[in-house]
Chain A
Amino acid sequence: MTGLARRPSFGTATAALLVAVPLAIAVLGPLLADAVTPPDGAPYTVGDGHPLGTDRLGRDVLGLLLRGGPSALGVACCAVALGYLAGAPLGLAAASTRHRWLDELLMRPVEILLPIPSLLVISVVGVGWRGHPEAIALAVGALNVPAVARLVRAAALDAASGPVAEAMRMQGESRARVLFGYVGRAVLPVAAADAGTRVGMAVFTVAAANFLGLGLEPTSPDWGVTIAGSREALLVQPWAVGAPAALLVMFTVGLNLLSDRLLRSRR
């Protein structure tokens, strides 16, 4: 066990906190935003009643942060949820079938999608359906399906070929009991850890699309959009880039830490 893991409460608490802060801002921020946001000021001022300064349009950066969470995290979370919704049943079904042809039938079409580079699809979808977060979510979700299906299938096969499943089978437990009672539960932590890193990556993909001008409208309060829109003023008003970037980084660091821990505790 690692040094950090010897104090699991501390490490896990830090990780949870890192995830919780951006998450709380995303969930509660929109409710608070109207009360906290001062009227618009001059473009890219620092101070002057704006704790984090203003952006290109003179909008309060704090106010933007409070309103930009749902899209910044939500699109990514929805995308991964979609990916799991479609990918996990596929993977489980493929792993559990006794028929090789069914396994092939389920997995091969999925694997066709696997090699498509994700930003490639995003750049086509992003340009074609600009300003539609649901299109981006759908695309990122679809891109996640093959990897999720593969992972779930592999994890399920892994568990099913392990000694515990073997023992259960020897004792004459039914297939269904082995599958859902043991294999399913064994897959869960792997899937959770994977989902964690996947959300982190999806957040980046979505933010990168927004950065390249392929995602949401440039006036959206989304964190990625705010970073992209204010990047010219990095040296004049660093908060407009720094604050949303910090939230994104916190969220992904926290998620990565948590999923690391999840995997490690399983070992």
Chain B
Amino acid sequence: MARHALRRVSLAVVQLAALAILIFLLTALLPGDAAEVAFNEQASLEQVAQLRTQLGLDRPLADRFADWAGALLSGDLGTSLIGGEPVGGIVARSLATTALLACVTAVLLVPLSLVLGLVMGLREGGRLDRALSAVMLALNSVPDFVLALVAVAVFALRLGWFPSTWLDAGAADLLTRPGLLVLPVAVLLARTVCLLARQFRAGTIAALHADYVVQARRLGVPRGRLVLRHVLPNAAVPGVQELARTGDQLLGGVLIVEAVFAIPGSATALVDAVQGRDVPVVQALTLLLAAVALAFNVAADLVSHRLAPRTEVLR
């Protein structure tokens, strides 16, 4: 196990380095640069040229990469091309909000979907299972942005139960106005719960049919203990393996939710930075978000390896 973990983590480090290069190249491919964008509507070509030189955007790509990578290794994310603020501050501020949103969602997501999946799996084919399955299938097929639009129109504008935006509010206001979280988190949960619960359900069913569970049941192991000790760990496997994809979906959802509810998070910051061609910010944000996703993947791998070690027999 320890060897497996070590290998997985060192691979992750290599992956991260490769990602850094990939991200740099991707941002280098973006058409236009910060100087052009900064002057959009009131541009004069001389002003653009002047700013481009000031920002060092006219230097060769290789030089810029060397500078960036060098600074990155020493922990310096650089400064924003727009406004000159250190990138670290921008990234920290926006990531904090997103992290909060994601954590609240995750804290609710895993237990909720595990319980739902277990309940459905234990009653496979029953009325409850069929009803829940149908609802989840339908809900999972509604795009995030449609859900968000409808949620705002109904619960914020029509009924006035919850705020419709985070305008004039930030993560710091959540203690006094917890209502801010309700709609965004509900939208984020809606589809991810469906996705995960269905995996947990499948896992439960598979575990229930597994030889050792059948055997244990025949030996008279009490049902509660059977479920907790034998079914649950195995039921979790497909769900855990699915966590990476869930994380990806969650991040996609965050992008939508931040846009609809005007939440000052990292997705908003990223789209902003891409539009402003603020390359250092784009690079830092994508790298960090990718690192988080990578960590998610590694964790999922390790947990599922622990839960159900696989042997690759073909060799």
Contact = CB atoms under 8 A, between A and B. Distances in A.
Do A and B have CB atoms closer than 8 angstroms in the complex? yes
A1 B125 CA distance: 7
A124 B30 contact: yes
Contacts of B31: 128-129
Interface string B269-293: 0110011000000100010011001
A54 interface: no
Interface in B194-214: none
Given A120-B286, A123-B271, A212-B259, A235 B18 contact: no
Interface string A161-196: 100000000000000000000000000000000000
Interface in A1-57: 1-4
Interface residues of A, number: 52
A4 B142 contact: no
A117 B251 contact: yes
Interface stretch (A73-81, A85-93, A202-210): A202-210
Contact of A127 (B18, B145, B271): B271
B140 interface: yes
- Does more than half of chain B's interface fall in helix, strand or loop, or is it mixed? helix
Nearest to A257: B137
B149 interface: yes
B282 A124 contact: yes
A147 to B, nearest CB: 8
A256 B140 contact: yes
A128 B30 contact: yes
A249 B142 contact: yes
Given A114-B297, A128-B30, A241-B149, A98 B315 contact: yes
Contacts of B249: 201
B125 A211 contact: no
B313 interface: yes
B270 A123 contact: yes
A160 B270 contact: no
A245 interface: yes
A234 B149 contact: yes
B73 interface: no
A2 B15 contact: no
B256 A211 contact: yes
Interface in B55-107: none
8 contacts: A2-B129, A117-B251, A117-B293, A119-B255, A123-B255, A201-B249, A211-B145, A241-B149
Given A116-B290, A227-B146, 13 more contacts: A112-B15, A112-B22, A115-B19, A115-B290, A119-B252, A127-B275, A129-B31, A157-B314, A201-B249, A204-B143, A245-B142, A245-B143, A260-B137
Interface of B: 11, 14-15, 18-19, 22, 26-27, 29-31, 124-126, 129-130, 137-138, 140-146, 149, 153, 244-245, 247-249, 251-252, 255-256, 259, 267, 270-271, 274-275, 282, 286, 289-290, 293-294, 296-297, 311-315
